[in-house]
Amino acid sequence: MKDNSAAPTHHNPRISIVIPARNEARNLEVILPMLPLVHQVILVDGASVDGTADVARRVLPKIEVIHQTRRGKGNALACGFAAATGDIIVMFDADGSADSAEIPAFIAALTAGADVAKGSRFRPGGGSHDITRFRGLGNHCLNLLTNILLRTRYTDLCYGYNAFWRDILPYLDLPDVTLKQRSDGRMIWGDGFEIETILTCRMAAAGLIVTEVASFEKLRIHGVSNLNAVSDGLRVLKTILDEHRRARRAGPARSIERTRVPAIRSVPAVHLTLVSNPAEEAA
């Protein structure tokens, strides 16, 4: 993978792609060869038993495989964020639902001035092969509640395809990855599927510049999703209410100290090269 460490961080940012995965070996065989050539690809393995880590290393030899410290997608992402060394972090699901060809659009939004590029299935040009009418209605209602409480204008609350500058991580205040799993088996708040809603709410509470990017969600390639429309919907509702109370306690957003060059909206889009043969690239 290319190392852009000598390049200006804003005009030619180093990109880290973080992929949380648990038993996604068959899907990784498909998606990893389609990723662009970037500074760093991190696979966060969640105690897989299907050879997920071995397959990832075989398909993309330079991939960095780490193991999450607790359980849950939120913890996996937090571990990946902590290991990222790029200027930009891209959140990328391992099930094949995210289109790697959209990554340049996310990077372009960030280099044009955004702190966060948030994927949206409901922007013109976006869509989904996976979301049902019931889930779509639930997402719309939860999205509307979030916009009212946080005074935002999001079009897609519960979507995990996002990218952001690494220097905003302190404002997200995610659970410490070094904490041990609770003895009673319960997950630490923020370790589960609520993570995407937490990120969306905290980005708004911190006063970050968020640009939505039209994205098309594809069907999972292999396997079955762990999502449950009812229980996870209730968890998202709890997250919205908790985050609203948290934002009110915190008061007005503090000023943001960025370590990168200030945004210039006229910066042209970043062009990424696709890796057609990962094994050859690693040679």
Q: What residue spans define the domains of the chain?
A: 15-252
pLDDT in tens, the chain (283 residues): 444 444 445 678 999 999 999 999 999 999 999 999 999 999 999 999 999 999 999 999 999 999 999 999 999 999 999 999 999 999 999 999 999 999 999 999 999 999 999 999 999 999 998 777 777 777 788 889 988 998 889 999 888 999 999 999 999 999 999 999 999 989 998 998 889 999 999 999 999 999 999 999 999 998 776 665 567 778 888 999 999 898 888 876 665 666 654 443 333 334 444 443 333 444 4
Alpha-carbon gap, residue 36 to 25, rounded angstroms: 19
CA distances from residue 15 to 51, 191, 224 in whole angstroms, order as listed? 26, 24, 29
Q: Are the C-beta atoms of residues 214 and 126 closer than 8 Å to each other?
A: yes
Pick the CATH number of 15-252 from 3.40.50.2300, 3.90.550.10, 3.40.50.2000, 3.40.1050.10: 3.90.550.10
pTM, 2 dp: 0.85
Neighbours of 245 (CB within 10 A): 11
Q: Looking at residue 187, what DSSP letter applies?
A: P
Task: Give the CA dihedral 69, 70, 72, 77, nearest 10 degrees.
Answer: -20
> Tokens standing for 45?
């393995």
- The CA angle 204-40-257, to the nearest 5 degrees, is 35
